Structure 1
């Protein structure tokens, strides 16, 4: 079976993200007698759909107080719970590349991918092929913040890149990172397949220690999974049922030239994506 790397396809005009949930009105009770009232302050994770800016922000990068990441649960979470806990850590990535030249001149090509915030400094992991050759990179957060970004580091063999955004959202929500999964473990993917912002799908780990052919070299130690992913999902997180990121989605397999999902996706284990070991493999390579 030929393994095709899922390059994010050229996207149509980005859909305008909906605004975040409106802040609920505060209700005050009327006291009958004087007494002390304890007011509890509830912090609400801002979950909204992304927006895009097409120019460099002129202001200096804004410092943001990192938020405590969502705590991974000891018990299994539902797909909806995993999505709610991780989506504030997921970003939409839009790139522009120089296209092929013609008599009318060079045409710019745009594409969409996904990334995930991995530390309190706001560093973003994504797939290298999402940003490879890009002349501009734009990152959109779930609170509506949009900013340009640059490639801080890359690992073409593992198809991993680290981005540094020029501006941070007011609340930085780094993802909780997990360890090596097992075959049959439940997983959830979050991304922007075919430009559909912040979509989710679920499945299981189908195999470990997979090897796929690629350039500049074969990628090894990959997680195979069957949660649906498509072009635009690349660079997004693969998450276990404790709400921990266990891998970065990089490719899918399809025996045809369609480049669409048929039930076989691959992710780089989070340890390898961060520059550590690939983790233990438990199945033979493809």
Structure 2
């Protein structure tokens, strides 16, 4: 086992477990994707926009929980507005605070859209290698029925939460990859650590927004390669990597948006997704002055495939 391999998952009788061999946890435990009628815990106060914290009935992130995270059941969540809109989900800024105290934190709440409004137009390739156990559910997903689209959304949320949790643990131990701390998963809402200015609520800039100098560019590239090696050694590719889903927070490159994480072994298109990831980010760095021998996509892709044990 290499130094930065993922911790060994639970073993099953048949083969190696992947991010979503099983049904998403929110389906197995019966958690709702929408509030039940008349449930006051899920209703926002129309005057303040607050609701009770949903921490109690959610799947929690890795322990020990960070000191900044508010886990008290007396806390209330206040939606402060939209940080980002996307094809599959919107990200809201949420303030979680305990009334009458100074205990508070900012969170990024990623909310996958309902089955009637999602645009999972590229999901077929990403979902190869992902299966749920029930044949009825597999058929629904393949047929893109309303129920199948709901299952697909659940797979996105569950896969992203699982990937972030495992990558966070590796980053905390070894420091070779940075991702937002995954606070909780509840239904198809994923709450994450907010990365940015806590005073003004300004999110950390995306890599695409920056124009680093030569030394800064080289440092960011080295951080990116380290992160890609961590993924490859575990047999995974980001699947949709670009300068738009890499943040730079306090000079640290942070990888975000991982619902489409690709199994390099289980997905027949895995190496192609990896090659595309490397090509997109490599071209961005090369266009900004990184020496061509460092940003050569074919060379880095080959190295990553060897780290994954495919070559």
TM-score by length of 2: 0.28
**More helix by percentage:** 2
Q: TM-score, normalised by structure 1?
A: 0.30
Comparing both chains, which one has the higher relative contact order based on Cα–Cα distances under 8 Å and sequence gaps of 6 or more?
Answer: 1
